[in-house]
Amino acid sequence: MKITRHVFLVALTTTLTVPAIAEEQSPIIVTATRTAQTVDETLASVTVISKEQIEQQQPDDLLDLLTSVRGIDIANSGGIGKTTDIFVRGTSSKHVLFMIDGVKVGSATLGSVAFQHIPVSQIERIEIVRGPRSSLYGSEAVGGVIQIFTKKGTAKEQANIKLGNGTFTTNNISAGISTSAGNTKFSFNASHLSTAGFDAKKDSETDNDGYTNTSATFNINHAISDTSSLNLNLMRTSGTNNYDGFYNNDQIIQQVTGLNYNFAALSNWNVKLNIAQSRDESENFSGLTFQSRFITVRDSYSWQNDITIGTRQLLTVGIDHINDAVDSTTAYDKTSRSNTAGYAQHQWNGENNDIQIGLRNDDNQTFGNHTTGNISWGHSLSKETRIITSYGTAFKAPTFNDLYWPAAGDPNLQPESSASAEIEIRKKHSWGKTSVSAYNTQIENLIAGWPPSNVNKAEINGVEISVDTKLAGWNTRIELSLLNPKDKDTGYILQRRAKEMLRIDMDKKSGKWSAGLSFIGQGKRYDSTTNTKELDGYGIINLRAGYEVSKKLSIKWKIENLLDKEYETAKDYNNPGINGYLSLVYQGF
């Protein structure tokens, strides 16, 4: 099934005449500005995936959740746990900053994040910010920022247990507990996932490529006083991944630890002190024979000050320091580097106009200083309609592989840099709300080829449309993305990016029953830089349902790829055909 732009626009237009819907409360976010504000207040293009949405969608993994978000495209190489690229607004996986509980994570050698190993059962909510955010976070935030918040302790004792089984001999068990003692809240969650998988790659090997993942998170929060608190977060996941090829078995570990101390220095001055570490470890095997090891450790420290000025202004200033270290069987010329940055952001909120200005300077041990900035203006045309314009710059630092890989790395490489402009219109209606945004991103000094060099330039133009409403009692969300990601020198479409993406979600609850449907459609893409390997567009349908046996116990099931569609998002790598999953969920005490 080829998905064309005409089909997308017809599907969207069909939904515009709809009945009334009650207005939902706007959720609080922190990623867009490093300060708390509602989604309606922010001047950034933001999507929040709530705890309720996660439970409703019954995702197998994190990628199932992210495919529901406009502006995000995914190329997967063979199912759960397999290598995955995530493109935000047409930028590469290396251009997406990924955080867990405020801590930057990722591989310093590859420069990307193994998204596929993050345990979905440990997630409380996800915040996705589209557009550049280097003026707040530094390197990587070219296409956007994805931040995961793990489950936290609650004042009331709670427990959760989930048992699941599905196609491809997939088994999943997760459990957690949340409680409190005086001014201290605790949370502990653990899970284990195993799947025999299917044949991931179309080659001479026809065996199933399995995957296992065992994970745990721990959180403790202590309120020292009414104006100060101490918080400790820990997440650790380990697993094995089988795939075709000479290197056919990976042992992986990812770990994130963060300690935060927040206090009010004055009535209008809040201080946040953070110490954190993230680890990315992988060992590669050929059969049972060890081949290589890559371990990267990132230590980070930050000092943030939020100063309220009057009733309409907030000034944020801070310092970030990061040290990356590599331990590997590959002999790199250098195995560590540090980065120190200072940043400032001013937010002014008027009655009909809001302005945000930010500036940051990163002093990197390898490539020296790099300055980024952003400016955003929001204007309320009416109580229901708001227009937002923004401009921002960003950069991506070269990886250790780019700089120091034996006999190929180039220590003189410069950071990739970008400039993005965007305009967005948000409108509330009697029947729901809509958002339409258009953006242009220019990227310079793209690192490409091997040996790597600063040669490429890219331009990405895009339009995103979101509609939230109710249709015949069904909560309905439509997310449409149209983009044109091109290599400016050759005119070719950037590799593995679909130019059209559509997702429609419809969910309804009636008494003890709940039901849902998702349609995911994507246009064609190319799996080569010269656009010679074309992958057809596709459309798939997923169904889900649930029944509450009691207030604490429920049964959930789902069927994915209902029409058993064969499709590829990476050349010669299979995606699952029709598959199902059944789970038993207990929540309470």
Which CATH number covers residue 96?
2.40.170.20
* 27 band by pLDDT with thresholds 50, 70 and 90: confident
CA-based torsion, 463, 500, 534, 241: positive or negative: positive
Whether the pLDDT of residue 17 is over 60: the answer is no
pLDDT above 90 coverage of the chain, percent: 88
Is the bond leading into 451 cis (omega within 30 degrees of zero)? yes
Query: How far apart are alpha carbons 496 and 571 in whole angstroms?
Result: 9
pLDDT above 70 coverage of the chain, percent: 96
Whether the pLDDT of residue 355 is over 60: the answer is yes
Which residues make Cβ contacts (< 8 Å) with residue 526, sequence separation at least 6?
Answer: 492, 493, 495, 496, 532, 533, 534, 535
CA-based torsion, 441, 446, 449, 455: positive or negative: positive
Burial of 139 (0-12, 13-18, 19+ CB in 10 A): buried
* 3 band by pLDDT with thresholds 50, 70 and 90: very low
Secondary structure of the chain: what % helix, strand, coil (to 5)? 5, 60, 35
Q: What does the block give as tokens for 206? A: 């026809």
Give Dmax (Cα) for the chain.
69
Please provide the DSSP assignment of 518-541 as one string.
EEEEE--EESSTTS-SEE--EEEE
* 22 band by pLDDT with thresholds 50, 70 and 90: very low
Mean pLDDT computed over every residue of the chain: 93
Q: Rounded to the nearest 10 degrees, how much is the dihedral formed by the CA atoms of 320, 90, 409, 286? A: 100
- Which domain covers residue 205, as residue numbers? 5-588
State how far Cα 395 lies from the chain centre: 18
pLDDT in tens, 460-469: 999 999 999 9
The answer to whether residues 8 and 480 touch, using CB atoms and an 8 Å cutoff, is yes
* 11 band by pLDDT with thresholds 50, 70 and 90: very low
* 248 band by pLDDT with thresholds 50, 70 and 90: confident
Give ∠ CA 35-215-232 in degrees, rounded to 5.
Answer: 40
Tell me which residue has tokens 């000479």: 246
The per-residue pLDDT for 2 is 43
Give ∠ CA 420-425-426 in degrees, rounded to 5.
Answer: 125
Cross-strand bridge partners of residue 309: 313
**Of 147, 146, 145, 144, whose CA–CA distance to 422 is shortest?**
144
pLDDT in tens, 198-237: 999 998 888 899 999 999 999 999 999 999 999 999 999 9
Helix (H), strand (E), coil (C) string for 389-424:
EEEEEEEECCCHHHHHCCCCCCCCCCCEEEEEEEEE
Q: What is the total count of domains within the chain?
A: 1
The per-residue pLDDT for 12 is 39
Length of the chain counted residue by residue = 589
Q: What does the block give as tokens for 496? A: 């593995």
The answer to whether residues 287 and 280 touch, using CB atoms and an 8 Å cutoff, is no
Please provide the DSSP assignment of 412-464 as one string.
TPPPEEEEEEEEEEEEEETTEEEEEEEEEEEEEEEEETTTTEEEEEEEEEEEE
Helix (H) or strand (E) holding 55: helix 51-57
Which residues make Cβ contacts (< 8 Å) with residue 277, sequence separation at least 6?
Answer: 103, 255, 256, 257, 258, 297, 298, 299, 300
Whether the pLDDT of residue 327 is over 60: the answer is yes
Average pLDDT over residues 387-399: 97
The per-residue pLDDT for 168 is 96
The answer to whether residues 588 and 158 touch, using CB atoms and an 8 Å cutoff, is yes
pTM here is 0.94
CA-based torsion, 76, 78, 80, 81: positive or negative: negative
The per-residue pLDDT for 205 is 84
Whether the pLDDT of residue 20 is over 60: the answer is no
